[in-house]
Structure 1
């Protein structure tokens, strides 16, 4: 009986000591938990201006007449003249491709006095796909020479595409810069709130975007990426 009383006393003392230890440790644990619960979400931006490394330039030309065979022949002759003009200005033969011609009978759906002067109208497109962006742009400025040869061209400047294909070369540096900029923002926030910046809780890299710097400079591209980072804050 005495032995049983001693055991009960021992257990009681142990429970009391455990309760005291837990009571002393609990505030610290709660404080530490709350410190990990406090976060700040920031964004970091990285931008670069780069030159396009590929240009796609469609040159569309037209011929009209009343004899179908002559229209086709004139279209073929104009294609040869345009090709010679491009080669003369330093554009490679391998960069030039020619589409199939498209012919229209303009009298097919017209009657009497509404008929246009020329029955047949034909169009064809010669496309330049080149990495020599500066050479192509310089050639564009010389198109007046084709006009002097009697070749009718459509304005294709608005359909010219400039591409930047070397994104992978600058991706790592831009991601690093965006992350560093995000950290600077987080450090400023922590300092203003009298906190200390902790470890990264999560991070998300946004999509890279490539756009023309402005309407008048489509060959100059602006590359942009935004990284979102969540940091822990501590007192």
Structure 2
């Protein structure tokens, strides 16, 4: 009886070992019978939203006088932009920033004195508009404000695209299609048949200036200084083959 029990135990052990071995071989083969490709989606587009800002300031010994002159400058700026076709609702003036301005006066004995030069009052104006070309042209012609006596500093315009969500979906579709085509070509050259998609993962969304040599970033790039842009995205696809 002991011998029969031992034989049964050994037989069961062999069966279990065989099952594990077959399972391991199957899993290994399942893993090997795949193909991994990277598809690319690429799209050129033109920005449909511009954000541009500039700042102006006044320096006066008397705070009340500085306020009055800054108010006058603000009215000149508002009137100028409205005359150029900018809607008043698109003009946003920030709160007034106040600081004390000093300069150092160096004496003959090597010491220096800090001399109060007056109150520096500054303010910014921002324009956000879908009339991209118009505001871009205005940003280049603000020297007219300087000619009117306004100490105006213009920043570079920033360009955006309001349809990014739809664009991204379109590019994911294009990248998936491109990846599948690559996989089909590889499978065909290997005398295999492409099976179902097993896994897909999306790469980083990149937006750079058109025809530029900008570097891509691991975290994604979003160029805001070019009106014409190129967006790219990659899709990593794993297909079964048979």
TM-score interval w.r.t. the shorter chain? 0.7 to 0.9
Alpha-carbon distance in 2 for matches of 1:42, 1:116: 68
2:87 counterpart (80, 92, 117)? 92
Alpha-carbon distance in 1 for matches of 2:116, 2:149: 18
2:67 counterpart (63, 72, 77)? 72
Alpha-carbon distance in 1 for matches of 2:62, 2:93: 23
Structure index of larger Rg:
1
Name structure 1 gaps, 5 residues minimum.
1-29
Q: CA deviation at 1:87?
A: 0.8
Q: CA deviation at 1:207?
A: 4.3
Name structure 2 gaps, 5 residues minimum.
1-24, 108-112, 213-222
User: Could you tell me whether the CA contact under 8 Å between 1:35 and 1:233 is conserved in 2?
Assistant: no
Q: Which moved more, 1:185-194 or 1:144-153?
A: 185-194
State the partner residue of 1:190: 187
1:167 counterpart (164, 169, 172)? 164
Which protein is richer in helix relative to its size? 1
User: Could you tell me whether the CA contact under 8 Å between 1:37 and 1:232 is conserved in 2?
Assistant: no
Q: Deviations over 1:17-41 (max 9, x none)?
A: xxxxxxxxxxxxx89x936741111
Q: RMSD of the alignment, in Å?
A: 2.9
Map 1:1-235 → 2, pairs under 5 A: 34=29, 37-107=32-102, 114-115=113-114, 118-157=117-156, 160-213=157-210, 214=212, 218-234=226-242
Q: Deviations over 1:25-68 (max 9, x none)?
A: xxxxx89x936741111111111121222222121112112222
Alpha-carbon distance in 1 for matches of 2:82, 2:98: 27
Alpha-carbon distance in 1 for matches of 2:166, 2:239: 29
Q: Deviations over 1:170-209 (max 9, x none)?
A: 3343222111110122122223333222221122233433
Alpha-carbon distance in 2 for matches of 1:34, 1:216: 48
- State the TM-score, normalized to the length of structure 2: 0.73
Counting matched residue pairs gives 203
Report the 3-state secondary structure (helix = DSSP H, G, I; strand = E; otherwise coil) of the residue aligned with 1:78: helix
Alpha-carbon distance in 2 for matches of 1:144, 1:175: 44
Q: CA deviation at 1:222?
A: 2.3
